[in-house]
Structure 1
């Protein structure tokens, strides 16, 4: 079959969108066959990170520690906030779009060369292209974030040297199961026999631990094989054979980041023979780690918080972090969400902190329309017998919703943007917003 002669990344991405009827098609047979044809393999340690929440932060922390130790890092994460190429970072920087084009061409050739073309979803095709780029780049460590689940995710075609399982909670139930045990079983599928499996969830599903033991993985459990302690000024980490004391808090905000940092340190301790890390690298990494959209506070007035929280567990963490910020006269919330999300628990958790809602459409057919969000919000309010009248408006885009919130907010107020990568990404499309406070009394 003839390989299309697309010249740009955008052309290839449009091509990928048209290859498979489903957005998600769980299974490794098709993607594994194309990976075999590509002879996809890494000659450096691979760390694979799965979980419901905390995956992106854990990958960013691993990247920061390794970079500060002098290693050349390759990181694959998904989804992206604004530009597709954000999904692949080499040496801490997003790759250039043009650098990905030859690898899209190679995946297309591989999937169409032997008889019938192998059908790949957008995620599978793009994952293979990025993995091929990373495998052909001289890396000291490859860090892979699982897209969905673990066992059947496209990233699992690569045998990991160290699996990390972050928090496990109920999300994507139509693909992964309706309870933590079922979902945990899917996440645990990235583990490999005889290799380290780090579990940073303090209360992991039994299925995760059972699978690690059944296959003979080298299990590292939070609270048993590694732990942290801390006060308001500093924290300390202890693993099987190493301890770090007097650590500064990570530059990533939020109480849950100590769990993510602890898991990252455990993974590097488990791989210490191949990736030795100094205490100085750990301290520098904690200070310099950066990840947009994870409780990101934009300087200016009113205060602006960007968070990709999009399920009950992550919204609960966001709520705790917002609560810890202190008093604001009014909190304005820009919110857009996918249609498959469990909105009831998400909205109920954060609602007491929100004084005004700005529901927004998102640029994907998978999202609820702003008007639908408004209807669901009112239904939840009526069911809960809410006594507080909260103003609600609807908007065609996150940018328009944010502008409406800025126009309504006083300098001392707070605006929080959350609900999806698309919500935060929609706000960041024109760069980090510059907040110009209205003059009091103007």
Structure 2
């Protein structure tokens, strides 16, 4: 076992609960560590869906402009190192261990969650690297999330939808209020939700934030982005267009856009697990980490706009605390065959009975559902065996689902993946 893996396993045991929202503990350790301002310019990105895509676009644009850029995102798919990047490259194991040791030296009696410890380690690395920009993705909510200990020079909200209700509230107004907690007085704020909750609009107004809303201050239609005199043709990449628009707007506001063609920079961006297309063993795959109804709506639109000659099949494994019916309903008219799968190592994962009930509850016929329900790896093989050359297999429902399939493909790659 590597030293990094030993540290990660230890972090999982340090705090009595996995999630504990609040800034008092993590902010005190940040003060002791001296990382309250990890870079001259900090951009914090919140939202229900599209946060990772927004960060990836900003990271690419700023790097192309010759800036030193750090990015902190979560969760990861295959390696923890994916969460912490400097100048577009994952930080290596040695540096991460050094960062964890630095946090451990100053935290004293203060107990930290896995995410809080990781956040502080990332901020320490960014500060030591002397980056110009730090891009911080909110883990959960906004107001009480660990990254909010840093005062953002620019805040972005990509979308507001119902998810994590136990922590954030049961409607968009309550959730929007939590997400708007990342705004700072007089600092610019970009909102990519075309119908922002009143709570977000009111928060921006009361904070005195210089606000930029999609379809009011910047626009994206028919693949063309507009912001003042700036015009960009968005190439066909598999990322949410509104998140791309928010990213360009945010970087433009901070004068960080590269002098080169923005279209060429955007064309080179590929984010694993976000409408990720693969061809493996002669079969077409589409992997997406979408795990809530809003993400499923976007995914359904993508499938409809990108049809295949054959039929769509789906491999689904998800968390039991999600809106399972809302997750599958948008895709029901587009998927012809369903393969249910389990995540036996995850205590939150839904079982076969729950998944099947969700499918049948939205009108999916029993004969369209594969009778066998296996762990993700075995379920993936079953789904592949039923796939024709002109068909497509959608893998979705959770980061864990996509990670399981990606790891399976990596372990058994026969040179056909791409």
If the length of structure 2 is used for normalisation, what is the TM-score? 0.93
Output one character per residue of 1:164-208: Cα deviation in whole Å (capped at 9) or x when no partner.
000110000000001101100111110111111001111111111
**In structure 2, distance between residues paired with 1:78 and 1:278:** 26
2:80 pairs, out of 73, 84, 87, with 84
Residue 405 to residue 260, structure 1, CA distance change in 2 (3 Å): same
Cα displacement (A) at 1:284: 2.5
RMSD: 2.0
TM-score, normalising length from structure 1?
A: 0.88
Q: Is the 8 A contact 1:236 1:243 kept in 2?
A: no
Match of 1:238 in 2: 226
Corresponding residue to 1:313 among 273, 283, 294: 294
Q: Is it true that 1:139 corresponds to 2:131 in the alignment?
A: yes
Query: What's the offset of the Cα at 1:15?
Result: 1.0
The residue number in structure 1 matching 2:16 is 21
- Deviation, structure 1 residue 393: 3.9
Q: Which residue of 2 aligns with 1:3?
A: none
- Distance 1:43-1:349 versus aligned 2 partners, 3 A rule: closer
Partner of 2:199: 207
CA contact (8 A) 1:293 1:424 kept: yes
Q: Structure 1 residues 33 and 309, CA, compared in 2 at 3 Å: closer, same or farther?
A: same
Q: Indicate conservation of the 8 Å contact 1:165/1:200, yes or no.
A: yes
* Runs of 5+ unmatched residues, structure 2: none
Deviation at 1:65, TM superposition (A): 0.8
Question: How far apart are the structure 2 equivalents of 1:250 and 1:140?
Answer: 30
| Aligned counterpart, 1:290 | 270
The structure 2 residue matched to 1:183, chosen from 168, 171, 175, is 175
Is the CA contact 1:397–1:426 (under 8 Å) kept in the aligned structure 2?
A: no
- CA distance in 2 between counterparts of 1:18 and 1:414 reads 40
Structure 1 residue 46: Cα displacement: 0.9
* Aligned partner (choices 31, 35, 39) of residue 30 of structure 2: 35
Change (3 A) 1:145 1:393: farther
1:142 is paired with a residue of what secondary structure? strand
Give the direction of change, closer, same or farther, for the CA distance of 1:265–1:134 in structure 2 (3 Å limit). same
Q: What is the CA–CA distance in structure 2 between the aligned matches of 1:172 and 1:331, rounded to whole Å?
A: 29
Which of 278, 281, 286 in structure 1 is aligned with 2:258?
278
Conserved 8 A contact 2:318-2:401: yes
Query: Residue 408 and residue 87 in structure 1: after superposition, are their counterparts in 2 closer, same or farther (change >3 A)?
Result: same
User: Which of 303, 318, 332 is the equivalent residue of 1:351?
Assistant: 332
- 1:63 aligns with one of 59, 65, 69: 59
Aligned position for 1:45: 41
2 CA distance for matches of 1:347 and 1:395?
A: 17
Take 1:73 and 1:400, find their aligned partners in 2: how far apart are those partners? 40
Shift in Å, 1:435: 8.2
Q: Distance in 1 between matches of 2:65 and 2:58?
A: 11
Q: Which residue of 2 aligns with 1:10?
A: 5
- Whole-angstrom distance in 2 between the partners of 1:149 and 1:209: 16
In the aligned structure 1, how far is the partner of 2:95 from the partner of 2:372? 40
2:385 paired with 1:390: no
The alpha-carbon distance between structure 1 residues 281 and 91, as it changes in their structure 2 partners (threshold 3 A), is: farther
Asked if 2 retains the 8 angstrom alpha-carbon contact of 1:302 and 1:435, the reply is no
Distance 1:159 1:95, change over 3 A: same
- Report the CA distance shift for 1:315/1:419 in structure 2 as closer, same or farther (over 3 A): same
Is the contact between residue 50 and residue 187 of structure 1 (CA under 8 Å) also seen in structure 2? yes
